[in-house]
């Protein structure tokens, strides 16, 4: 068993744990049980590779090959030259993104697990041992993930820059993992201090979504710390860069391998050691309070706010013609609002679709002035907000409460097609439309009213595109009827192909706008409306 190998690896550090005052034999038994239980839960990265006939095994360990394959794409960055600050900032940025996303999606439940107290605290076990087991459990998996992801880069760096690269790279990876775990735990502790009951669970869910969103924004800030001047990449130091962790870890390479001893590099290098160790020290001091605070997750008190859904019912009456369709519109809207696992996986995508157009606009401003931007065609970047549709639509099949899907088989449903159409309309109205309205207001402020027909065309295209994506990806699968651990094999490829279809849609729009300026776009919008009418009737 793979679990035994992990436990035997820990045996090497037995004396270290005993020196810390931890009952290693008991911690070893607790970890063995935890690792066995992990075999029954698929990580996000392997959602598409599990089936009922597969024998029990630790699916996280089986997912490491995928991380190693992803790590191969980092090798060219390591080999591209000797601008160590830029290269290693990208490497650590990507690794930190992957580790943080896995931490949020897969291991937050480990940090916030309340079962330890209800089961193990009734036994003669030292609380310090329980805390150590929880921390080691998370760190063990993150180190495996990071090692698989960084292994190709480590080998390439060893061959390209010598043994010193490896001697720097490995400790930095350990510090990165420890920093991610401790910072995440401290953020959760801060939340636990101020909330309780069901509201606490909602707040934690939204914080996880915000963290996912912030990681993407932080990576964009990292890239913008550098400028491309001809064939040279120039770093412009600024105070705000101290809040970008990948720069801390990459500064060691710029200093010790690149010979850069500038003050900002030395400050970043010091931060790369001091801040992770400081976060570990703070967490160790706060861990008893953290263990006590997570008991709030076991309570059901606290106000969660009214969920009458009057607005959803009103929207259903406006956009759905039949009573049955209105019912499923309301059901889907409530599910998307209250299902925490669904929100954790879908809401970050919605947030990304909101920022993607602006990322491309900011990038284009590096090559043109603001006046040139306003008179150009940069509003076509709005099509990049559509790339979240295939992934989000594919998630409409899944729910954290999927076992309740039996209701579809017992309810007196006369027209089953309304189940699907009501769900898709709820997605468009509740998730897609708010994002697009925000983008519309901002783009109208930038490009003025001359782009109004383009905005109308893009939204109608998005509606038609959503119907097509729903039919191709979901087919006749009932909404919210599957576990997130049972994503169909091949679904990822379908999603990628549908995301690529956004490009020809934008190209067709641009071609019609160039060949038929003026009223031509309004005529195209009418054609798209007719296409929507036909598609909704035909598909549903």
Report the interhelical angle of 520-539 vs 502-515 (nearest 10°): 140
Any idea of the CA torsion for 197, 203, 208, 209, to the nearest 10 degrees? 140
What tens digit of pLDDT does each residue of 274-312 get? 999 898 888 777 777 776 777 776 665 555 444 556 888
Query: What band does 438 get if pLDDT is binned at 50, 70 and 90?
Result: very high
Q: Which two tokens stand for residue 398?
A: 């899944």
Report the interhelical angle of 310-319 vs 323-338 (nearest 10°): 140
Q: DSSP 3-state assignment of 299?
A: coil
Q: State pTM to two decimals.
A: 0.73
Report the interhelical angle of 2-11 vs 24-38 (nearest 10°): 160
Phi, psi of 485 (to 5 degrees): -90, 5
Which H helix or E strand runs over 227? strand 226-229
- CA dihedral for 169, 170, 174, 175, sign (positive or negative): negative
What tens digit of pLDDT does each residue of 87-131 get? 999 899 889 888 887 777 667 777 777 766 667 767 777 767 777
Q: Supply the pLDDT for residue 115.
A: 67
Domain ranges of the chain: 2-46+58-298, 315-539
In 3D space, the residue among 526, 415, 419, 391 whose CA is nearest the CA of residue 480 turns out to be 419
Task: Give the distance, in angstroms, between the CA of residue 15 and the centroid of all CA atoms in the same chain.
Answer: 38
Ranges of H-type helices in 39-83: 59-72, 75-79
Residues 6+ apart with CB under 8 A from 193: 293
Query: What band does 341 get if pLDDT is binned at 50, 70 and 90?
Result: confident
Mean pLDDT of the chain: 82
Q: How far apart are CA 279 and CA 276, in angstroms?
A: 5
Residues 6+ apart with CB under 8 A from 277: 175
**β partners of residue 366:** none
Pick from 14-23, 31-40, 200-209, 299-308 the range whose average pLDDT is largest: 14-23
Query: What band does 46 get if pLDDT is binned at 50, 70 and 90?
Result: very low
Instruction: Write down the number of H helices and E strands in the chain.
Output: 25, 2
- Say if CB 134 and CB 116 are below 8 A apart: yes
Range name among 30-44, 489-503, 520-534 with the lowest pLDDT average: 30-44
The larger pLDDT score, comparing residue 488 to residue 263, is at 263
């Amino acid at each position: 068993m793979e679990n035994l190998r992990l436990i035997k690896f820990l045996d090497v550090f037995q004396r270290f744990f005993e020196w810390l005052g931890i009952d290693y034999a008991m911690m070893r038994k607790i970890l063995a049980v935890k690792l066995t239980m992990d075999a029954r839960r698929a990580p996000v990265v392997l959602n598409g590779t599990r089936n009922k006939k597969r024998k029990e095994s630790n699916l996280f360990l089986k997912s490491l090959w995928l991380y190693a394959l992803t790590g191969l794409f980092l090798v060219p960055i390591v080999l591209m030259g000797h601008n160590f600050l830029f290269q290693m900032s990208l490497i650590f940025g990507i690794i930190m993104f992957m580790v943080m996303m896995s931490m949020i999606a897969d291991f937050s439940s480990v940090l916030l697990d309340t079962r330890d107290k209800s089961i193990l605290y009734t036994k003669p076990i030292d609380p310090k041992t329980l805390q150590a087991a929880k921390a080691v459990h998370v760190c063990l998996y993150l180190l495996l993930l990071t090692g698989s992801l960084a292994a190709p880069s480590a080998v390439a760096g060893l061959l390209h820059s010598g043994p010193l690269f490896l001697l720097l790279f490995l400790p930095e990876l350990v510090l990165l993992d420890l920093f991610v775990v401790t910072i995440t735990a401290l953020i959760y502790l801060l939340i636990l201090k101020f909330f309780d009951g069901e509201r606490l669970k909602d707040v934690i869910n939204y914080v996880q979504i915000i963290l996912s969103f912030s990681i993407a924004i932080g990576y964009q800030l990292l890239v913008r710390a550098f400028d491309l001047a001809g064939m040279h990449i120039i770093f412009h130091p600024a105070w705000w860069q101290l809040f970008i962790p990948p720069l801390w870890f990459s500064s060691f390479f710029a200093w010790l391998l690149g010979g850069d001893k500038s003050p900002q590099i030395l400050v970043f290098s010091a931060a790369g050691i001091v801040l992770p160790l400081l976060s570990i020290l703070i967490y160790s001091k706060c861990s008893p309070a953290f263990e006590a605070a997570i008991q709030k997750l076991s309570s059901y008190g606290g106000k969660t706010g009214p969920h009458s859904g009057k607005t959803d019912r009103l929207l259903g009456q406006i956009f759905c013609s039949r009573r049955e369709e209105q019912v499923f519109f309301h059901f889907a809207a409530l599910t998307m609002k209250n299902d925490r696992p669904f929100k954790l996986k879908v809401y970050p995508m919605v947030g990304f679709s909101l920022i993607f157009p602006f990322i491309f606009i900011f990038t284009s401003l590096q090559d043109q002035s603001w006046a040139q931007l306003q008179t150009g065609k940069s509003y076509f970047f709005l099509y990049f907000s559509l790339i979240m549709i295939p992934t989000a639509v594919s998630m409409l099949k899944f729910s954290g409460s999927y076992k309740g899907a039996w209701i579809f088989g017992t309810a007196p449903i006369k027209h089953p097609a309304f189940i699907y159409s009501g769900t898709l309309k709820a997605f468009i109205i509740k998730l897609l439309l708010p994002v697009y309205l925000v983008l519309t207001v901002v783009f109208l402020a930038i490009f003025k009213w001359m782009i109004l027909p383009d905005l109308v065309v893009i939204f109608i295209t998005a509606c038609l595109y959503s119907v097509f994506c729903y039919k191709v990806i979901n087919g006749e699968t009932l909404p919210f009827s599957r576990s997130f651990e049972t994503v169909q094999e091949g679904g990822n490829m379908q999603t990628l192909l549908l995301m690529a279809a956004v490009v020809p849609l934008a190209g067709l729009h641009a071609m019609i706008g160039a060949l038929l300026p003026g009223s031509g776009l309004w005529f195209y919008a009418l054609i798209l409306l007719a296409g929507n009418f036909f598609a909704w009737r035909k598909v549903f």
